[in-house]
Amino acid sequence: MWAAALAFTLWGFFPLYFRLQPGIFPPEVLANRIVWSLLLVTIVLTWQSRWSWLGPALRSRRVMASFVASALLLSANWMTYIWAVSNGHVVEASLGYFITPLVNVGLGFFLLGERPRRAQWIALGVAAAGVVWLTVSAGRLPWIGLVLGLSFGAYGLLRKVATLGALEGLTLETMILAPAAIAAMTWWWGGSATSFPAPTLATNVWLVGLGPATTAPLLLFALAARKLSMTTLGLLQYLSPTIQFLLGIWLFHEPFSATRLVGFALIWIALALYTLDGWRRRGGVVAPEPAPS
């Protein structure tokens, strides 16, 4: 329980880490995150002697196709999240992770032929009304939340049917993304005050620290997932977007009008209906994939 709570709490406070070094080009943040995450998970797997999965995975076209797709979704999710936090849209980013469980229900219906229960249909309808309200009131789609929710939901769907565990899957995904990330870092090499290697120790430590900041919550989640029920994990996952939402309003002072509150309230009502239905059926809440934020 403590491992799961700590994992989701760390993901929730992730915007604070990005704000320690403002002004870094988001693609540079993404490239460093990929490279240093790969280095760290490689060290962990080597220490645990857990490389027997790699050969069969590389030889399987089905596995590689699945993980190329999940790697692209992961990079899109990370890029959108980094841009959102860097440009003062933490509240809208939290929306993406609030709606993810409901996105999962919709993807299950359209892609897997699953039949949502009546309470889930009602929850989807209420959440859709919330998104429509936010769109009409703001005069634009809440695209950050939608991109994060849809990419995370699709990523979770691919990882749900994948043959690799959380740590092995992240390793393969970062391996797939690493060539482009390394090429980009080589191109930017020392080219600015925020490019690795940067002229200041603090900036270099921050860039390298993106690795453990990404993988530490993942390892905690993987530990918790073996011990806790899916229902408990499904409830605890709301810690992360709740913390992000509160940070956006109270610490970063992002605008949040009463009109916007109505849209979020509709989505929270939808989540309450969905969660209560899953709790009542004991197992109706699917354990989330580790958040890629």
Which of 138-142, 208-212, 249-253 has the weakest average pLDDT?
Answer: 138-142
Structure tokens given for 73:
């979704």
Write a three-state SS string for 145-182.
HHHHHHHHHHHHHHHHCCCCCHHHHHHHHHHHHHHHHH
pLDDT tier at 104, thresholds 50, 70, 90? confident
pLDDT, position 282: 59
**Residue 36 CB-half CA count within 13 A:** 21
Q: pLDDT tens across 142-196, in order?
A: 999 999 999 988 888 888 777 888 889 999 999 999 999 999 999 999 788 888 8
Helix boundaries (H) for 60-196: 61-86, 90-112, 118-138, 143-160, 166-188
Share of the chain above pLDDT 70, in %: 93
pTM of the model: 0.88
pLDDT tier at 139, thresholds 50, 70, 90? confident
pLDDT at 289 over 80: no
Q: How far apart are CA 196 and CA 189, in angstroms?
A: 6
Q: Say which residue, 123 or 290, is predicted with more confidence.
A: 123
Q: pLDDT tens across 10-50, in order?
A: 999 999 999 888 888 899 999 999 999 999 999 999 999 99
**CB of 214 closer than 8 Å to CB of 225:** no
Q: pLDDT tens across 231-280, in order?
A: 666 678 888 999 999 999 999 999 899 999 999 999 999 988 888 887 77
